[in-house]
Amino acid sequence: MDISIFMFKVGEYYESEIKAVSSYLKDAGFKVEIKGLVTARMDHTATRQDRLSELKERLAGFELYERSMAAIKAVAENADSRESFIDLMLTELDPNWKTVKDHVVTECEEGGEIDEDARVANIRSVAEYALAIDFANTLLDLNSINPGEPINGRLDDPVGRPLFPVDGYLTTS
């Protein structure tokens, strides 16, 4: 007696769609096995270390770094640790950052249902927070600044190393 087992891939679906597809197939009598799939996309980024005044002239999309720099200047002397510095800096950038972060975490952990536009805006905000944190940590390290200590003009035109898309750098000089 020949018992053949056939298995076939139905397709690739987003998590929100797979529930309906798997339910339909189960109702039709199929055994359904769902396997997660992680996809990756490679983006090319670069850094250039220089005085921020020089980078500002050459770097397209420098607004995030300008806002981050203003926040860093506002809170650097008021923080008592690197952790409190990051918290104060993010609060200066966006007073609602903790709420946004909590929404993203809740959605990821619990599969919370929110409006797609709000979801995209929240993810974009969290990505900007990550860029701001990286920029701030690098800036403090490159300029030998410890949160809570007097700055003494070291943030007037500090050395920085922002990330940017390879095609976002305007000149090569």
Q: Across-strand partners of 46?
A: 164
Could you tell me if 46 and 164 are in contact, meaning their C-beta atoms sit under 8 angstroms apart? yes
Model pLDDT for residues 8-40, shown as the tens digit of each residue: 666 777 777 778 888 888 888 888 887 766 666
155, 162 contact by CB (below 8 A): no
Residue 63 burial (10 A CB sphere; 0-12, 13-18, 19+): exposed
Query: Counting beta carbons within 10 angstroms of the beta carbon of residue 166, is it exposed (0 to 12), middle (13 to 18) or buried (19 or more)?
Result: exposed
pLDDT in tens, 116-152: 788 888 888 988 899 899 999 999 999 999 998 988 8
- What average pLDDT score do residues 113-118 get? 74
Q: Express as a percent the part of the chain with pLDDT over 90.
A: 32
In whole numbers, what is the pLDDT of the chain averaged over residues?
81
Return the domain boundaries, the chain.
45-168
